[in-house]
Structure 1
């Protein structure tokens, strides 16, 4: 809970990716951060909240936790939620949506719990019930402990603001960023994706190389909360933008679908990355190693349950593995898939297999090689 100007900040992440996000959070200067199931907790002031939203590549949201208490029945929830410092965070009359979840608790009806919290909020701030695009309060009741958080992000942070064209079964930008980190990528080497889809992996890699803030092209919910200083926020963004890195690396994406290649190219233009990225139509059977230094091949192929089905996928993975072994000596490779049998079909010498990560109805893993 907020005390003496300090805020309890929580950056969410998909289960299994907490260690990678913890590395990123600490790398950005929040060295006392700690991993918890589903995210990373750390303390700071409002500028830390703004900076986390602007710079964190792997987080889904940035929440501010305003209180936690035991509640075993709705009357108790009602009474204790009225003691929360609502007015310190939410301006009067603001439209707010409350979302509640209940797990292993005596309060089991999430709708009733949300109504009690909404009532407390209205009494403190004259807030009105909002839609999904307005300010949001998240209430989690787990084993009778109620944690109340304010969402400071708005739209999920994987929505960078430039990617209008999205292919089938896209990998989220936040996932791509953390998988790149898991592969040891730090922006100092080329990255190639031979099945690039809408270009997510390539564009994330290029942004990291140029030191671009992932949130530079979008707005955030904290701009509508108390404590927001537009002047200080503008100064922060300007200082971060002025630290952009000049990169001479190249980032390449290939796909057999000409429409997807055009979409990736458009996404790169909107992101300001055209100068260091290229997207071309090419079948995986024609994949060749580009000239220049060795780097990383990271690919998110079809999984079977997702886009393609049957034996054709095994053949596709076999071809991918063969081309990588034949053409990419000195490079590292990462394969993202939900199917272990397909990963094994590549014949690649995987040195590490990552934890399962939710991806829609599936659970995907990163299969990494050492230098080929």
Structure 2
């Protein structure tokens, strides 16, 4: 595989949010994205891999597909793995590790499968294997089809590189970006999170408004591959797509520590000028001056934080505040509990399908513009 090779690229996301990620990828100009279980597939070369890691907000990791073949037993896997063109992607001087998964296949021992592939790479390439290696080769054996990929991201992509402080039960930036997109947010209206925690929704919205690349601060595993072109990557990173935001993004929280944390995170993200954080209880929240926009929140729910029955007053207060002070604003609330969402009294549209988050399944409850 050379820099100009055309191959399959897989962008992983939370099951249930594949169509939302697909829409984002299409909107960023990638050709013919196709939603599949667990993510979106595109085709391209290594520059597309680099661009996807730098640009795409909703993907958790990005895999470059190296090969795929049918295998029925470990000896066959061993033989086929030795014919993969490892040297065109991996470097002999960079440590690697192999992770495998097996599902519905005659090869069912993932550890044994990983060992065979690891041995093939060591023998063919001479690269050292290490359990701490950043470069990860992933093998998925499903219904006897083995797909070999290299993880081009390294650390999961929700780690944008600016957040040192997080609150309890934080939402990942990747999921927050997809929920913002589901609410119709495109960066041209104000956003307010009345329970901002560490500021994830607010900072993500402010970055979208300023057209800042989500991967601008971080390192990626593809920088350690044989296909990496440092000069081309530097030129790609230097392209500035920022703009002066049309509207500000606001966060508030009753906890002073959360407000301090959010301000510090926004400062590190470079969006302090486009954000504003205040210590306020739900009943004290008011709409900022100017045109209406989007209120989005990830309140406590069920087993996530606290006793469910104790949360009904909080949700009722949230609904009363929004209905009385946020005419014309749309609302998005993420929760695992339908009854808690209903307790707000807000005129929700049909809820989105539940998606996994923090060991629970959550839904996004949305409204149109409030009366």
Fold match by TM threshold 0.5: yes
Residues 60 and 156, structure 1, Cα contact 8 Å, conserved in 2: yes
Residues 1:14 and 2:14 are matched in the alignment: yes
Residue in 2 aligned with 1:158? 158
Residue in 1 aligned with 2:326? 328
**What root-mean-square deviation, in Å, do the aligned CA atoms of Structure 1 and Structure 2 show?**
1.3
Shift of 1:2: 8.2
Are residues 2 and 68 of structure 1, via their aligned partners in 2, closer, same or farther at CA, if it must alter by over 3 Å? farther
Deviations 1:153-191 (A, max 9, x none): 000000000010000000000000000000000000000
User: Distance between the aligned counterparts of 1:31 and 1:186, measured in 2?
Assistant: 21
The SS at the match of 2:328 is: coil
**Structure 1: 5+ residue stretches without partners:** none
Shift of 1:106: 1.1
Query: What TM-score do you get using the length of structure 1 for normalisation?
Result: 0.97
Residue in 2 aligned with 1:283? 281
Deviations 1:288-342 (A, max 9, x none): 1111110000000001201121422011111111111111100000000011111
Deviations 1:39-92 (A, max 9, x none): 111111111110000000000011101011111110111111111111110011
Shift of 1:132: 4.1
Shift of 1:356: 1.2
Residue in 1 aligned with 2:314? 316
The SS at the match of 2:99 is: strand
Residues 2 and 66, structure 1, Cα contact 8 Å, conserved in 2: no
Residue in 1 aligned with 2:87? 87
Residues 92 and 128, structure 2, Cα contact 8 Å, conserved in 1: no
Matches within 5 A, 1:138-217: 138-217=138-217
Residues 138 and 150, structure 1, Cα contact 8 Å, conserved in 2: yes
User: Distance between the aligned counterparts of 2:3 and 2:164, measured in 1?
Assistant: 40
Residues 334 and 366, structure 1, Cα contact 8 Å, conserved in 2: yes
Residue in 1 aligned with 2:119? 119
Shift of 1:7: 2.2
User: Distance between the aligned counterparts of 2:19 and 2:310, measured in 1?
Assistant: 35
Residue in 1 aligned with 2:71? 71
User: Distance between the aligned counterparts of 1:168 and 1:197, measured in 2?
Assistant: 8
The SS at the match of 2:75 is: helix
Residues 4 and 46, structure 2, Cα contact 8 Å, conserved in 1: no
Moved over 3 A (4+): 1-4
Are residues 330 and 132 of structure 1, via their aligned partners in 2, closer, same or farther at CA, if it must alter by over 3 Å? farther
The SS at the match of 1:98 is: strand
User: Distance between the aligned counterparts of 1:47 and 1:3, measured in 2?
Assistant: 7
Deviations 1:91-110 (A, max 9, x none): 11321111111111111111
User: Distance between the aligned counterparts of 1:221 and 1:213, measured in 2?
Assistant: 17
The SS at the match of 2:113 is: helix
User: Distance between the aligned counterparts of 1:114 and 1:227, measured in 2?
Assistant: 23
Shift of 1:4: 7.2
Residues 31 and 43, structure 2, Cα contact 8 Å, conserved in 1: no
Matches within 5 A, 1:269-280: 269-280=267-278
